[in-house]
Structure 1
Amino acid sequence: MHRGPRGARLTEVGRSVLPHMEAVLSRVGLMEQEASALVEHGAMSLRVATFPTAGALLLPSAVRQLAGQGVKVSIVEGELPSVVDALRAGSVHIALVYSQPGDPLDLGEGFVLRPLLEAPLLLALPAGHHLAALDSVPLDRLRDEGWIMGASDWDPCDRMLSRACAQRGFEPVRVMRTDDYAILKGFVATGLAAALIPRLALTGYESELDLAIRPVDGSVLARQVSVAMLRSTVSGPAGKLCEELEVRAQRIVATWHNGTG
């Protein structure tokens, strides 16, 4: 801290340390909340951040199991950047995140990242599209299609699509951006564009929406869903939630393999 005639201001060293101190204070705040919950209600507390599709399928049964063990769970939902920011800032104990297979998120030494499942990315086309008759669609036959992509440039699925298209000599043309899969399905059904959609985001009623869902032939397109947590919380409720999430993920993958999900 440097004091001058106009008051105190941070030195360069202070400015560099400030983000780390904010994270530490946030984690201290979490500890205080846990202690307060334990004193008042006899229960441990756990704060979880998740992106929407994982929050819908993976979390509910896992959270129910923890609630039955006396753990008070609160959940915040957001897109990947805000989920990662919340974990790094220490405002949540554990987070569901995703990345490209083989390219895990780099969260730093203070965090543990455990893979849960690899969710295939499938092609969404209008039911009347001429390629919808195929069991799987070669990506190079989609070079003239417009694409609905994620709302932000960081989207791992979009980067994966762009790389796969580049390997086939073309660049996907973006005609719309959204992170809402209900909106995406609606616009694909009208014939506006094609899109990639995670298996986790399928409801089983896509045919009733005039959609055709097909695998992409010759391309392994998927996203790795993982659970990330502070290393210091692995042995507590966060570790228990991770175990429940692993069980739930195994069940989901089993339904994919036997064709019931």
Structure 2
Amino acid sequence: MLDLHRLRIFRSVVASGSVHAAATNLGYTPSAVSQHVAALQRETGLALLERAGRGVRPTSAGLALAAEADELLARLGAAEDLVAGLRSGRAGTLSIAYFASAGVMWLPAVVSRLSSEFPGLRLDLRLNDEAPDHPDERADVHLVVARGPLTVGPGSVSHHLRDDPYVAVVPRGHPVADLAQVTLVELERERWIDNDSARGWCRRILLDACAAVGFRPVFHVEAHDYRAALAFVAAGVGITVLPALTAEQPPDGVVVVPVARPAPVRSIHAIVRESAAGTKAGQMAVELLRASSKS
């Protein structure tokens, strides 16, 4: 295997035109440069330099090796830049998995800032409501919804971002629109609009709260996401109950009313792989998510 250090010195001799000039440029003694070049010739079994007046010039084999050394050293420089970028968080990949409402409300600002701070970083964004059980299948930063405190296994850390209480969204002019809060029982006979086609934790938390007061809502319309459900409410089709985060930018024609007795609450967490938690980009992603969740 060729010695990379000797290749550097040989390339300097070719570029400088003499052993003495290369030694001056590199800060070595001429004897040390000559020894490295001689060792490289023994390694390759090739005559790489020949005398030319007071200096040296590369042989045809030396010219070919010098050209190859140029490409090799350029690739090495690029690799060194990549390593430095990975250490500082400026390069590499950061994957972020999220659920729909976080993607709409938080991710645009988070991604914009990360892209500005780390222009060489590739962001891999995934819509995924629930974190896989196996840590290796999770994103570097995985936003998840849970019923309460979250426990993660080895290899990951969990950050609680916020508790998100549920609210009722009703058409303007609805009998409960002017209330400070509304109980779930008061909404039992309404025309309910479903808002979670994934049938994930968010829906289960709501159904469990309804079951706690003795009913299960009858969904007259099944919308596939929160925005569609809000649009149906604005059109006067019925009411919907969903997490407050999803109703922070409601359409015209609707009123948002807090839900009470019981008050369903979902807990939002960021699960971060330890390998990402040690990078500047991963740390900033968590900081930005914390800030977004509190705004």
| TM score, norm. by length of structure 2 | 0.61
Contact 2:99 2:129 in 1 (8 A): yes
Distance 1:194 1:37 in 2: 56
Distance 1:249 1:37, change over 3 A: farther
Distance 1:192 1:214 in 2: 17
Contact 1:37 1:43 in 2 (8 A): no
Distance 1:134 1:40 in 2: 58
- CA shift, 1:66, in A, is 3.1
Contact 1:52 1:77 in 2 (8 A): no
Residue 191 of structure 2 corresponds to residue 152 of structure 1: no
Contact 1:126 1:188 in 2 (8 A): yes
The superposition leaves residues 226-247 of structure 1 with CA deviations (integer Å, 9 ceiling, x where unpaired) of 1112123221132332123223
Aligned to 1:239: 283
- CA shift, 1:40, in A, is 11
Contact 1:117 1:224 in 2 (8 A): yes
Structure of higher CA gyration radius? 2
The superposition leaves residues 23-53 of structure 1 with CA deviations (integer Å, 9 ceiling, x where unpaired) of xxxxxxxxxxxx8992697723212122222
Distance 1:77 1:36 in 2: 30
Distance 2:217 2:94 in 1: 41
Contact 1:122 1:196 in 2 (8 A): yes
The superposition leaves residues 145-199 of structure 1 with CA deviations (integer Å, 9 ceiling, x where unpaired) of 232231133x222222222222222221123333422210121233333212322
Gaps of 5+ in 1: 1-34, 253-261
Residue in structure 1 matching 2:273, options 205, 226, 230 = 230
Distance 1:160 1:96 in 2: 17
Alignment: residue pair count? 210
Aligned to 1:76: 125
Aligned to 2:82: 38
SS in 1 for 2:203: helix
Distance 2:155 2:100 in 1: 25
Q: Give the aligned CA root-mean-square deviation in angstroms.
A: 2.9
Aligned to 1:255: none
- Residue 240 of structure 1 aligns to which amino acid in structure 2? M
Aligned to 1:193: 238
Contact 1:97 1:225 in 2 (8 A): yes
State the structure with bigger RCO (CA 8 A, min sep 6), 1 or 2. Answer: 1
Distance 1:45 1:36 in 2: 17
Aligned to 1:30: none
Distance 2:161 2:134 in 1: 18
Between the two proteins, what is the percent identity of the paired residues? 27
Aligned to 1:121: 166
Residue 155 of structure 2 corresponds to residue 110 of structure 1: yes
Contact 2:161 2:270 in 1 (8 A): yes
- Residue 222 of structure 1 aligns to which amino acid in structure 2? V
- Residue 242 of structure 1 aligns to which amino acid in structure 2? V
Gaps of 5+ in 2: 1-78
- Residue 142 of structure 2 aligns to which amino acid in structure 1? A
